[in-house]
Amino acid sequence: MNKRKKQVLTCWLPICSTGVISSTLVSIGTDLSANGTPLTTLHKSLITSATSFFALVASPTGGHLSDALGRRTCILLADALFTAGALWQALSTSVTGMVLGRSVVGLAVGAASFVTPLYIAELAPRTARGRLVTVNQLFITGGQVVAYLIGWAFAGVGSGWRWMVGLGATPAVVQAVLMLAMPETPRWLVQRGRADRAAAVLGKVYGRGSERVVQGIMKSIEDEIREERATRKAVGTDDGRPAGLVETFGELLHVGGNRRALTIACLLQGAQQLCGFNSLMYFSATIFAMIGFSNPVATSLVIACTNFVATLLVFKVIDRIGRRRILLLSIPFMVAGLALCAVAFCFVHLPKNEAGTSDIGKFMLLLRRQTGSPRPSGVWAVIIVFAMILYVAAYALGLGCVPWQQSELFPLSVRGLGSGIATGTNWLCNTIVGFSFLPMMQWLTPTGTFTVYAAVCAASWIAVWLIYPETAGLGLEEVGEILATGWGVKESLRAFRERKRPITR
């Protein structure tokens, strides 16, 4: 892999905010209250959900913006917003200020969460595309580990949570500096009539002696753009200018292959969040405090490390095994981990902080106070930790990374908008889960909550088996041919078995 391809791997570290907020919720105490009261359950839900909600707002808008301004420019804008949001949070003196800071971060995350995989996918060779997009997720999970380490280090420091959130600006600044040396994607350049520059970028990606490969890719891109323009002329929507938002949205919904691509992408992104993973990351420290661990932040670090190691493993195999097969193999283990959690919580005794308080009342009391000396829950607490590790490992192997391969499903003409809408689905579901997790734990009990998440995972496995084709090893311009006349599951599996794909090592 040449230097240019290695530089692409620096593309998104700042989404370590998930791990930071878990430790922050434990550490804030009364710092955001004028009258010395701790955060309420509503405050915690607002703080955790603000990022998801504004990411939802930014994703579809950012999709069209990436088509208009370019993928690289959108990443730079996201870095600027993330830096501003991180500093805003660090200087907050009220819950309102904290929520506003998290909202600015949400705008950055919403744009970057789809445009970064899109940027990598449009630059990467087909045989390494899955792994290079997975590297984006690898940096995210690595960032979560760093976030938990920061949380652990500052847990005992007065107002240490301000350092936790403020340091999030550092990777955003570093990435912005590195992105200044990176090119725009060749596919966007061709679409904007800059074919010579696009060919030069492809030459740097593939290295010396790749002229024939570059010519083939350029021809595929140009053919696709010509077909797109011919289609628009046929329906009378081509006025010689790049398609606007309304025209692109219409093409996304009315063309069968595009509609199927959007359905698959939204299904995978929705499943990634509705399985409850981010609630576990947001509230892991709180959950471990509830079941009796004296250092819940350190225990949460084990979860984050599991996520990182499993993502590192899938990086090695995603292009060889394939996206579809990884999902079908990993999701059953997610179901098993969640089911084991549900059973174990039946036998966990929550700490008795107040006489006469019900089990769920005690849980909510602990969420509010984050203090006291919870009693260890014995073997069942250990089983819960094991079950969560199993669940997180399986998630990282499948649903954690495969949905972000979404840009390979869409043709160039709708790739930005389609990826943005799919990512918006992710953040919509993230917002729903983040805001509903604590009420579900109260009303359905932990056992009921984890049972619901297990059922969602089982349903997503069925959907993957029915409609998700195998796209590993295909060129971006070839995937559309599979979805043009149907879901293409059988055809893609047959082609995957027959295809001999060299893997770049």
What residue segments make up the domains of the chain, in order of their start?
10-182, 255-351+375-504
Mean pLDDT check: name the lowest of 191-205, 227-241, 351-365, 446-460: 351-365
Higher per-residue pLDDT: 337 or 14: 337
pLDDT at 316: 84
pLDDT at 164: 81
Higher per-residue pLDDT: 504 or 438: 438
Confidence check: pLDDT of 11 > 50:
no
Confidence check: pLDDT of 84 > 60:
yes
Q: Summarize pLDDT for 214-250 with one digit per residue, the tens.
A: 888 888 888 877 877 776 665 555 555 556 677 788 8
What is the Cα–Cα distance from 479 to 129, expressed in whole angstroms? Answer: 13
301 near 152, Cβ under 8 Å?
A: yes
CA distances from 480 to 149, 233, 445, 469 (A): 43, 20, 45, 11
Greatest mean pLDDT range, 7-16, 286-295, 470-479: 470-479
Interval 76-103 mean pLDDT:
91
261 near 483, Cβ under 8 Å?
A: yes
Domain 10-182 and domain 255-351+375-504 have a common topology: yes
Higher per-residue pLDDT: 355 or 297: 297
Q: What is the DSSP string of 115-180?
A: HHHHHHHHHS-TTTHHHHHHHHHHHHHHHHHHHHHHHHHHTTSTTHHHHHHHTTHHHHHHHHHHHT
Confidence check: pLDDT of 9 > 50:
no
Q: Summarize pLDDT for 39-72 with one digit per residue, the tens.
A: 777 787 788 778 878 888 888 888 778 888 899 9
pLDDT band at 197 (very low <50, low <70, confident <90, very high): very high
pLDDT band at 88 (very low <50, low <70, confident <90, very high): very high
Confidence check: pLDDT of 343 > 80:
yes
Class of domain 10-182: mainly alpha
55 near 113, Cβ under 8 Å?
A: yes
The CATH number corresponding to 255-351+375-504 among 3.30.56.10, 1.20.1250.20, 3.40.50.720, 2.40.50.100 equals 1.20.1250.20
353 near 359, Cβ under 8 Å?
A: no
Rounded to two decimals, the pTM is 0.78
Higher per-residue pLDDT: 55 or 265: 265
pLDDT band at 398 (very low <50, low <70, confident <90, very high): very high
Mean pLDDT check: name the lowest of 58-67, 193-202, 456-465: 58-67
218 near 107, Cβ under 8 Å?
A: no
Host H or E run for residue 264: helix 256-274
366 near 350, Cβ under 8 Å?
A: yes
